[in-house]
Chains A and B, each alone.
Chain A
C-alpha cells in the first residue's frame, strides 16, 4: 500500500526561501492526518512535495513504490494519478460542465485523441457519475461549474479526486474559502472518504479545532520544520504555542469565529 515516507527532506525555492527543512515523517496508508501551522510555515510545501508539484531539493521522499527525487515525466504523472488533490480555490474550469470537471480526474488514463475530442470512455463517465453520487451532487452533472455555490464547487473538486480512484488524497486548505457550516460538510466528506474507502487523507488546516475534530493525527509545522506530531488529543496549550509562537486566540478557532 501507499505509505508515505519523508526522510530528511528539504525544499528550497528558486528565490532562496526554505519551504521545508529536514522533515522526517512516516505516514502509513489509511491515515487521516491534519497539518496545522501559520501561513508560510510549510504546510502547502509539505503537501505539494508529495505529488511533485514542488520538487524536493534534498533528502528522500517515497510515496508507495515511487521515489519522488527521480520521478519525472511519465512516472511522475503515474504517481500523480494515484494521488488526488483538493485546492483552497477549488480550481474548477468554471466554463465547462461539472461532469467534464470530474472527468479531468481520468485524464491520465485517457488517450490523447479521446481527450482532444472530449470523447470520454463510457466506464470513465460511469466512474465520474458515481463519484458525484458519493458527494451527493450528481443532479448538477450537466450544469456549468460557475453556476454552483462555493461548497458545491468544492464537493465537485472532491468528486474529481475520487474519479482518480486514488490511494492518497491531499487537501490544501480545502475549507479556507467556505463558511463554517459548509466547512463541516466538506470535512465530513473527507472523513467519510478516509473511513469508507481506506484512502489516506492529508489535509492542511488553519483552524486547530477542525483538525482536532476530524483528524486522528496532527502534524504541527513552523518555519519549515515539524514541531508537533501526535494524536489530536495531545495537542494542548503548550503544543499550540510551539506551533503558532503565541497563545490560542478566538481567531484560530472556527466555531468561535462563526459566532462573531
Chain B
C-alpha cells in the first residue's frame, strides 16, 4: 500500500521534459515565410512606385469623393437590369438545383457512381469564378443580360447543390426508411419524407444565393454580361470618376437594401 503511494508520489513529482513541439512550429512558420517571400517576389512589391502613382492620383481621389448625381437617370436601366439578373438567376438556379441535390446526397441516392460523378461535377463548377464563366458565355451568346444570368445560374447550381445535399446528408433518414418500407421508390420517398425536412435549409440557401447574386450581378457586366458592370467599364475607360463614384454608391445602397430584404424574407420563411 505504502509502496504504491510512494511510487505514485515519485512519478507525480518528476518534472516532465517539455514536449518537443518547437520543431513542428518552426518548420510550419518557415514554410509559410518561404511561401510569402516567393509570392512577394511574384507580385513585385514596389512601394515607391505606388507613392509616385498616388501623387498623380490625388485628382482621381478628389473626383471619387464627389459623386455626380446628375448622372443618376442614365444609370436606371442598368440598375434595373442588375436586379433582374439577380432575381431570374436565383429562381432558375434554385429550381434546377433542388432535384440535383437529391441525387448528390448519400441519404437519398443509393447509386454510388452517380453520386460521386455529380459531386465531382459540382466541385468543378464551383472552382470556376462566375465572372470568368460570364466572359466566355458573352463570347458564345453575345453581349447582354442573358450570358450573365446563365453564368450566375451555373455557379448557383454548384453552391446550392453542395449545401442542400449536405443538409440532406445530415438529416435523420428514419422517415425515408419508413416510406421505403411502405413500398415507395427512392425518388418518391425522397420527395415525401426528406423534402419537408430540408425545406427551411433550402429556403435559407436560396436567400443566401440571392445575396451572392446581387453582388455578382453588379460587377458581372465588366465583361459585357449586362447590368451596372457595363457602365462601370464605360466610365472607367474614360476616367469619369465622378460618375464611377455615383455607380459605386448605388451598388452599396442596392446591396444593403436587397440584403435587408433577404434577411426579412428569411425571418418570415423560417
A3 to chain B, nearest CB (A): 20
Known: A115-B188, A115-B192. A91 touches B174 (CB 8 A): yes
Known: A89-B174, A104-B192, A115-B191. A95 touches B181 (CB 8 A): no
Interface-side segment among B13-21, B82-90, B194-202, B259-267: B194-202
User: Does B48 sit at the interface, judged by CB under 8 A?
Assistant: no
Q: Does A184 contact B (CB under 8 A)?
A: no
- List, in ascending order, chain B residues with CB within 8 A of A247's CB: none
Tell me if A188 counts as interface (CB < 8 A to partner B). Answer: no
Interface-centre pick from B175, B187, B194, B197 (highest chain A CB count, 10 A): B175
Interface mask (A85-128 → B, CB under 8 Å = 1, otherwise 0): 10101111111100011011101101010011010000000000
Q: Out of B185, B187, B189, B197, which one reaches A94, CB within 8 Å?
A: B197
Question: Judging by beta carbons under 8 Å apart, are B179 and A107 in contact?
Answer: yes
Q: Interface code A70-87, partner B: CB below 8 Å = 1, 0 otherwise? A: 000000011111111101
- Of A133-141, A156-164, A238-246, the one touching chain B: A156-164
Q: Judge whether B180 is part of the interface by a CB distance below 8 angstroms.
A: yes
Q: Is A148 an interface residue (CB 8 A)?
A: no
Residues of chain A lying within 8 A (CB to CB) of residue B194? 93
Assess the B197–A161 pair: CB atoms within 8 A: no
B183 within 8 A of A: yes
Nearest chain B CB to A80 CB, angstrom units: 4
- The interface bits of chain B over 160-202 (1 if a CB of A lies within 8 angstroms of the residue's CB, else 0) are 0000000000000011011111111101110111101101100
Are B192 and A107 interface neighbours, CB within 8 A?
yes
The interface residues of chain B lying within 8 Å CB-to-CB of A100 are 192, 196
In the bound complex, do residue A161 and residue B182 qualify as a contact, i.e. CB atoms below 8 Å apart?
Answer: yes
> Which residues on the A side are within 8 Å of B184 (C-beta)?
77, 104, 107-108, 115
Whether the pair B183, A107 counts as a contact (CB closer than 8 A) is yes
The answer to whether B192 and A53 have CB atoms under 8 Å apart is no
Asked if A91 and B175 sit within 8 Å, CB to CB, the answer is: yes
Q: 1/0 per residue A155-185: CB within 8 Å of B?
A: 0010011001000000000000000000000
List of A residues within 8 angstroms of B187 by Cβ = 112
Shortest CB–CB separation between residue A65 and chain B, in angstroms? 15
Beta-carbon contacts of B86-120 to A below 8 Å, as 1s and 0s? 00000000000000000000000000000000000
CB pair B182–A91 under 8 Å, yes or no, is no
Bound complex: CA A107 to CA B177 (Å): 13
Query: A200 on the interface (CB 8 Å rule)?
Result: no
Contact call B174/A77, Cβ cutoff below 8 A: no
A105 engages B196 (CB within 8 Å):
no
For B193, list chain A residues within 8 Å (CB).
93, 104
Q: How far is the CA of A47 from the CA of B158 in the complex (A)?
A: 41
Q: Do the beta carbons of B178 and A87 come within 8 Å of each other?
A: yes
Instruction: Tell me the A201-231 residues at the B interface (CB within 8 Å).
Output: none
> Is the Cβ of B196 less than 8 Å from the Cβ of A93?
yes
Within the complex, the shortest CB–CB distance from B105 to chain A, in Å, comes to 16
Question: Which among B180, B182, B191, B197 is the interface contact of A84 at CB below 8 angstroms?
Answer: B182
A77 touches B181 (CB 8 A): no
- The reply to whether B178 and A95 contact each other, CB–CB distance below 8 Å, is no
A230 and B37 alpha carbons, distance in the complex (Å): 81
Say yes or no: B181 contacts A51, CB within 8 Å.
Answer: yes
Query: How many angstroms between the C-alpha atoms of A210 and B175 in the bound complex?
Result: 26
Q: Complex Cα distance A81/B182, Å?
A: 5
Would A80 and B178 count as touching, CB distance under 8 A?
no
Give the chain B neighbours of A103 by CB distance below 8 A.
192
Chain B, residue nearest A110 (CB): B188
Given contacts A53-B177, A87-B177, 12 further A-B contacts (CB under 8 A): A77-B183, A79-B183, A80-B182, A85-B178, A95-B197, A95-B200, A107-B182, A107-B185, A115-B184, A116-B191, A160-B178, A164-B182
Residues of A within 8 A of B (CB): 51, 53, 77-85, 87, 89-96, 100-101, 103-105, 107-108, 110, 112, 115-116, 118, 157, 160-161, 164
- List 12 A-B pairs, Cβ < 8 Å: A53-B177, A85-B178, A85-B181, A93-B192, A93-B196, A94-B197, A95-B197, A100-B192, A103-B192, A104-B184, A104-B189, A115-B184
